[in-house]
Structure formats: structure tokens, C-alpha cells
Structure 1
Amino acid sequence: MLRNFDNRLNADVIHALRAMGHGDDLIISDLNFPSDSVARQTVLGKLLRMDNLSAAEVVEAVLSVMPLDSFVDHPAERMEVSGSPKEIPAVQAEVQKAIDKAEGKSWPMGSIERFAFYERAKKAYAVIVTGEPRFYGCFVLKKGVIPPKAK
């Protein structure tokens, strides 16, 4: 066991998060996303799993150790609802709350059209599939930096 560490993060996920660099994208996907086939095309080349957790729970756990990129307008983005791009389903509202809590401020997500999301996901560092059964529970998180401690 590790102290002060979210035990929902498994060894494979921790390894990927640690290996990612500033600006790398992490995909958090729902159960309906073609996670395995897309993950095979990512930098990591294999699917990461955080089964039995909702998308918001996974985002909360990931953001407990990974900062979001403060150099871009939307370091977190959501997949748009087809035919209704401004609609915010409950799953996306829950993830937004997890982001705001982790960052200590309101930081609205950007949005990506569904098929553009698939293409973006193929270029990501890694894909984590969640146990999220609701539609449109797919997100991009861009890794930020942790500044050095002042001496």
C-alpha cells in the first residue's frame, strides 16, 4: 500500500501517468467506445482498465496525481452529443464537477465532435476504459506540469 495515494489507481495506470509528458493526451472512455482498437494505435499501444468505476470516479483518481495543462484553454474536453453539441449529459456534468474539485476552480471543458474525438484518441498517449455505461462518457485530459518547489 502507498500512503496518501488513491487506491483506485492500478499499477498499469500509474506507470502510464508517470511516463506521460507535458502536453500528452489521456483518453478516459465509457464502455461503448472502441477502446481496445483505438488504444492499440496510441503511444502506449495497449488498453488500460479501471473497471467498475464511473467516468467521474476515474477522472477524480487520475487528477489526484496528474495536473491538467494550464498552458491551453481547454485541458479537458468532452465528446459532443451527436446532433446536439451543446447538450451536457449527466455523466459530463459529473466529470466537470470532478475537474473543478481537483483544480480548485471552475475550468469548463472544451468539446470535440464525435468522429473527430475518435481520431484525436488514436494520437493520444493512452486510453483508460472505465465501467461507465452511460453514453458520451468519453473525455480527453491533457497532462500539465508540476513546478519545482521554491528553496
Structure 2
Amino acid sequence: MLRGIPSILSPELLKTLMEMGHGDEIILADGNFPAASHAKRLIRSDGHSIPDLLQAIIPLFPLDHATEHPAVVMSLLPADPTPEVWEVYRGLIRPHESRFTDFGYVERFSFYERALKAFAIVATGDKSFKGNLILKKGVVRD
């Protein structure tokens, strides 16, 4: 164990976050997402929620501000309610990313296509409606 590293972050997940470069994407996937069939690198984080993982990851992980939307969710269908978890995500991201304005919204099958190209997918047991979240890595500047 190390000091200052949240225990929810497994060694495999920390290694993956470190290996990612500028512009690489990681998906925090809910329990319904087809993670195993879409992942180049699959990281199991069963039993954890996406908000808990995001809370641990976002202080360590710079978002890419060279792109308009470095955090992306799956767009809604006309009859879908706005997922409550999206406001939770905003509340976790904003304190660490002052330039974050809002998510990018991607249609479901386009989201799946993007997942095929992602650096890694973290499969969780999260049951939130439309809980999937893509994060694009930026650069660390001193």
C-alpha cells in the first residue's frame, strides 16, 4: 500500500493510468456495458461505482483541454430522463478541472465504436442509468 493513493485504485488501474498518454481515452463502464467484447485492455472493478472511481481518479488524471469535450457520456433518447449521476460526475470533475464546462454527448453505437479504440475500459458493477463515462487524458504541466 502507498500513502495518498485511494485503495479503490487497483495496481492494474494505476499502472494503466500512468501508461496512458496525451489524447488516450479510458472508459468507466457501468455493469450493463459490453466491456469485455469492446476492450483492448479490460480492468475489472466489480462492486465499485463509477462515482467512487471517478472521485479517486480525477485528482490524479488531467483532462485534455485541447479538445472541446474531454469527458463524454452516452446521449439520451427523446423519452429518456436526464441521469442524476451526470450531476454527480460534474460535481466531482469541476473542483479539479476549472476549464471543464460540460460533457460531450455521443450516440450509443458511436459510443461503442469509440470504446473499441479506447486505451482501456474499466468494468464496474455500477447500475446508474447512462452511467458510462469516457475521459480523455491531457498533460501535466508544472
TM exceeding 0.5: yes
Measured on the aligned residues, the alpha-carbon RMSD in Å equals 1.7
TM-score by length of 1: 0.86
1:98 Cα offset (Å): 1.2
- Partner of 1:88: helix, strand, or coil? coil
Match of 2:118 among 116, 119, 124: 124
Map 1:89-108; keep pairs closer than 5 Å: 89-104=83-98, 107-108=101-102
Runs of 4+ in structure 1 off by over 3 angstroms are none
* CA contact 1:30–1:137 (8 Å) conserved in 2: yes
Q: Supply the distance in 2 between the matched residues of 1:92 and 1:19 (Cα, whole angstroms).
A: 27
Quick one: which amino acid aligns to residue 51 of structure 1? Answer: D
Quick one: which amino acid aligns to residue 101 of structure 2? Answer: W
1:49 counterpart = 2:25: no
Q: Supply the distance in 2 between the matched residues of 1:46 and 1:136 (Cα, whole angstroms).
A: 22
Quick one: which amino acid aligns to residue 121 of structure 2? Answer: V
1:18 counterpart = 2:18: yes
Give per-residue Cα distances to partners, 1:40-67, cap 9 Å, x unaligned: xxxxx33102222221111121112111
Aligned to 1:29: 29
Give per-residue Cα distances to partners, 1:92-117, cap 9 Å, x unaligned: 22112111133256531111111100
Task: Using the TM superposition, name which of 119-128 and 60-69 deviates more.
Answer: 60-69
1:74 counterpart = 2:74: no
Give per-residue Cα distances to partners, 1:11-51, cap 9 Å, x unaligned: 11011111110000111110000011111xxxxx3310222
Quick one: which amino acid aligns to residue 23 of structure 2? Answer: G
Q: Supply the distance in 2 between the matched residues of 1:130 and 1:79 (Cα, whole angstroms).
A: 16
Quick one: which amino acid aligns to residue 126 of structure 2? Answer: E
* CA contact 2:43–2:122 (8 Å) conserved in 1: yes
Q: Supply the distance in 2 between the matched residues of 1:96 and 1:84 (Cα, whole angstroms).
A: 22
Q: Supply the distance in 1 between the matched residues of 2:98 and 2:4 (Cα, whole angstroms).
A: 18
Aligned to 2:54: 59
Quick one: which amino acid aligns to residue 101 of structure 1? Answer: P
Is there any run of 5+ residues in structure 2 with no aligned partner, and where?
none
